[in-house]
Amino acid sequence: MNKRRQRGFALLEVLVAFAIAALSLAVLYQAASTGSGAAETAGYYQEALSRAKSHMAALGRDTPVAEGEREGNDGGPFHWRITIAPTATAEPNPAAPPTTDRLVLYSVEVAVSWKTGRRTREVALHSQRLGKQSGNAGG
């Protein structure tokens, strides 16, 4: 009778060990899939930040610094938007010769967004740039 109890107990131990192993594997699988999703999201953020820096660097060199909003597609899932708004205008020196251009300080936002599944994510950079405003606009 003693041997029969030991066999039954051994079978119960194997079943419990199998259940614990199955739960452990499920948890490990979920952790691995969550980690790979986080790595993919981090990659998208890094790419979007690089694209936003590129647009910011081109502002004033390839693109004029002027009030307004521009947007477009940047290839793949990425969409960019540049918003420029005047912050301050320099008053001309009364003793200086008259000119039609005034210096303006612009607030600049460059945003790059993309969709992953049903979520839209975005990286935005903010800066200020000097530009010229022709004529009597703004004052």
Place of tokens 């691995």: 32
Name the pLDDT band for 100 (thresholds 50, 70, 90): low
**Over residues 38-54, mean pLDDT:** 93
Residue 96 · residue 112 · CB < 8 Å: no
Q: How much is the pLDDT for 12?
A: 80
Q: Report the chain's C-alpha Rg in angstroms.
A: 31
SS3 of 69, please?
strand
Q: How much is the pLDDT for 106?
A: 94
pLDDT surpasses 80 at 104: yes
Residues in the chain: 139
**Over residues 57-79, mean pLDDT:** 90
Residue 126 · residue 109 · CB < 8 Å: yes
Closest CA to 83 of 61, 63, 62: 63
66-72's contacts with Cβ under 8 Å and 24+ in sequence apart are: 66/131, 67/106
Domain spans of the chain, in order of start: 2-134
Closest CA to 106 of 126, 85, 135: 85
CA–CA separation, 40 vs 74, rounded Å?
19
The pTM of the full predicted model, rounded to 2 decimals, is 0.67
Q: How much is the pLDDT for 31?
A: 78
